[in-house]
Chain A
Amino acid sequence: MSVVIVDNGGANVASLRYALERLGTTALLSADPDCIRAASRVILPGVGAAADAMARLKRHGLDAVLPRLMQPVLGICLGMQLLHEHCEEGDVQGLGILPGVVRRLRLPACLPVPHMGWNQLAINTPHALLDGLGTGPHLYFVHSYALCPGSATIAQTDYGVPIAAVVSRANFHGVQFHPERSAAAGARLLANFLALEQ
């Protein structure tokens, strides 16, 4: 098993690496197309601004590489958002692998933004990625932009508005929360991802 974390310039991928290490997996951080193509699992992390992250992916030619990958791919937070068609933040085109537009959270006035903290998943479609998570597991979210639940959404959460929490189509998967910071439930999801069939 070779796991590559796509290096898209974020400052804190350390917590993701440590979470994988706790599962017995050493991940490589790389922006090299050959290295990413050769991996058995690819994780697209993301903290920061969508435009910066997309610009960096393009600089390395990864906007062409990532959509053609055949192995399981997991986008986390901004990485999940970038799998989609368009991001309102910075008005930037995403990778276009999944349908949908990422928009700024528009919430009832009493709810703070960012959506920050532990929120519950409602599972819409059973999937190997979600095995063993039980009913209404809590995962750690922190984001100000989000997708409405759509055709690729397999689990959603509610924060005044419904939010796509887990998306999946073919070999591409994405989570809006941070599994690496989500205690046992997050560790289970990462383990499920590593165990997915090719």
Chain B
Amino acid sequence: MLARRLIPCLDVRDGQVVKGVKFRDHVVVGAIETLAARYRDEGADELVFYDITASPSDRTVDCRWVERVARLLDIPFCVAGGIRSVAAAEAVLGAGAEKVSVNTPALTDPSLIDALAHRFGSQCVVVGIDSQTVVTAEATRYEVWQHTGDPSRARSTARSTLAWVREVQQRGAGEIVLNCMTNDGVRAGYDRAQLSAVRAVCAVPLIASGGAGTAAHFIDVFTQCAVDGALAAGVFHSGAIRLPALKRQLAQAGIPVRPCSL
């Protein structure tokens, strides 16, 4: 049976892993390789490295740490942030990443998704979406934000999240990571209403992001939203949740997981 994936996300800035709350106030939590090896050994199913300085400041990802991580890891990992061309993606994949994730550059130029899928295949192309819930008197809707790595530039695109989810699949996205901004960093649980709404229009793997605080939050998102994986940062970095214990709890709740060792 296909296991549900648990995916620690490492925000990388200037060669170190950092953590912020609602994309602000970043503090250093450790060296990239130290944390990557720790999560590998603890049974992470996949890692995401998000270069949070890359996209806002128009830099591309530094491939030297990507290569060092690739030599270390025997599980898949994805690199996000600063990938705005086929050439940049080729460099990251060539350094040993399994997938690349695009967010703001895909909003600026949606044909980037087509170009990446054509060159490398959909299985390498993840689209990250930062989405905010907008509640009005008439209805609840979801809106895509961009430039979220930089609080001074972050803004709504006024695009409908559900429409964008449909479009990126047509363009060749092989996986979608939905970061629910309202819940991000506050550890009150994943945004299950939004994730369920997106799941209904998403035929490729869907990864939940934003809001994990307890093991129960993971159990809830897997049992109620049919997501393929759950991504989290703070609760893993702080040690508040350890992967082996979390996997045991998920297994007890009847959720298929990959055991932590052979």
**B45: shortest Cβ distance to chain A, in Å?**
6
Per-position 1/0 for B113-136, Cβ under 8 A of A: 000000111111000000000000
Q: What residue of chain B has the Cβ atom nearest to residue A182's Cβ? A: B74
A97 to B41, CA, bound (A): 38
A116-B174, A138-B259 known; A47+B120 contact, CB < 8 A: yes
**A183 lies within 8 A of B262 (CB):** yes
A112-B228, A114-B174, A117-B205 known; A184+B96 contact, CB < 8 A: no
A residues apposed to B, CB below 8 Å: 11-12, 14-15, 18-19, 21-22, 47-49, 110, 112-120, 133-134, 137-138, 140-144, 158-159, 178, 180-188
**Subset of 6 A-B contacts with CB under 8 Å:** A11-B124, A15-B70, A18-B71, A48-B121, A114-B123, A115-B2
A18-B70, A22-B74 known; A112+B204 contact, CB < 8 A: yes
**A19 lies within 8 A of B74 (CB):** yes
A117 to B45, CA, bound (A): 8
Number of A-B pairs, beta carbon distance below 8 Å: 113
Residue B144 at the chain A interface, CB threshold 8 Å? no
B1, B97, B226: the one within 8 Å of A12 (CB): B97
A residues less than 8 Å from B147 (CB atoms): none
A150 to B4, CA, bound (A): 28
A144 to B234, CA, bound (A): 33
Residue B206 at the chain A interface, CB threshold 8 Å? yes
Apart from A48-B121, A113-B204, A188-B262: 17 A-B pairs, beta carbons within 8 A: A15-B70, A18-B71, A22-B71, A112-B228, A115-B2, A116-B174, A117-B45, A117-B205, A117-B228, A118-B2, A118-B3, A118-B5, A142-B123, A142-B174, A144-B122, A158-B1, A183-B40
A176 to B1, CA, bound (A): 15
The dominant DSSP class at the B interface is loop
Question: What's the tally of chain B residues with a CB closer than 8 Å to chain A?
Answer: 40
**B203: shortest Cβ distance to chain A, in Å?**
6
A residues less than 8 Å from B45 (CB atoms): 117-118
**A5: shortest Cβ distance to chain B, in Å?**
14
**A26: shortest Cβ distance to chain B, in Å?**
13
B70, B98, B205, B262: the one within 8 Å of A185 (CB): B262
Residue B261 at the chain A interface, CB threshold 8 Å? yes
B residues less than 8 Å from A14 (CB atoms): 67, 70, 93-96
A116-B175, A116-B228, A144-B122 known; A137+B262 contact, CB < 8 A: yes
B residues less than 8 Å from A18 (CB atoms): 70-71, 96
**A134 lies within 8 A of B174 (CB):** no
A92 to B262, CA, bound (A): 37
A14-B67, A48-B121, A143-B123 known; A117+B98 contact, CB < 8 A: no
A residues less than 8 Å from B228 (CB atoms): 112, 116-117
B1, B94, B205, B206: the one within 8 Å of A11 (CB): B94
**A117 lies within 8 A of B74 (CB):** no
**A184 lies within 8 A of B175 (CB):** no
Residue B229 at the chain A interface, CB threshold 8 Å? yes
**A12 lies within 8 A of B98 (CB):** yes
Q: What residue of chain A has the Cβ atom nearest to residue B176's Cβ? A: A112
A15-B96, A15-B98, A181-B98 known; A118+B258 contact, CB < 8 A: yes
**A114 lies within 8 A of B70 (CB):** no
A158 to B1, CA, bound (A): 6
For residues 87 through 123 of chain B, which have their beta carbon under 8 Å from a beta carbon of chain A?
90, 93-98, 119-123
A residues less than 8 Å from B121 (CB atoms): 47-49
Residue B244 at the chain A interface, CB threshold 8 Å? no
Q: What residue of chain A has the Cβ atom nearest to residue B123's Cβ? A: A142
